[in-house]
Structure 1
Amino acid sequence: MAQFRRQQGGAIVTVASDAAHTPRIGMSAYGASKAALKSLALTVGLELAGSGVRCNVVSPGSTDTDMQRTLWVSDDAEQQRIRGFGEQFKLGIPLGKIARPQEITNTILFLASDLASHITLQDIVVDGGSTLGA
């Protein structure tokens, strides 16, 4: 943090998860760790704001990654996730698709760029609407 204070500016983008917003069965440790990461990032952002440092969080939802695929235990698991799971959290994904990694990357690049020069202390949830802003 000292370097950011000395340089009087910069951008930090932390990647958390939509699990920091929406509890799900079987994800207690993961969700708690992502909620803690979100809180840490926003607290650091508050502490560094006076030095012109912007700190934001990106919280991806279901994204087509190796990690996501390890959670799919059946041939129709992707479609089940899109529709939602009644026994866990019914909403599903209103946009009707799993995110591509590039969609998450684009959000991170935007927040790190000068295009986002007045955006700080925000958590941008990139989840196709599945958390409804929770």
Structure 2
Amino acid sequence: MSDRIEQKLLAILGNPGIEDPKQILKQIVMDIKNQTTGELLQDKHIYQLHVLVQLRNLEDQLDEIMVSVNEFFNIEKDPIYIRGEKKGFHKKALGIALELKKKGMDNAFIKEVTKLSAEEIESLEL
């Protein structure tokens, strides 16, 4: 395998052969940590890795690896993680808003409590 991180990232798209994809992913993550300077470049490579593993259906393996190497990787700063968290909070807020609406609460109150937009609250079906 190449020494360049960009080539290693693209190798994810190929057939890793007999090697364990999880081991390859772990090696790439460690190379990103050890061979890149600066948080911005590391974040860029990690984001690229997230995109490429989706194409090979290796997201679960990457998630497991990212948790195991979290001593250098702050998952709370990962853009994919942040997007998922926001989506989860939004979904939860919609559920709370629907329950409040069913109980007859005022839309202004629901907006204040859930931080949802008036349009989102009004569009909720009882």
User: What TM-score comes out, normalization by structure 1 length?
Assistant: 0.29
More helix by share: 2
| Structure with the greater alpha carbon radius of gyration | 2
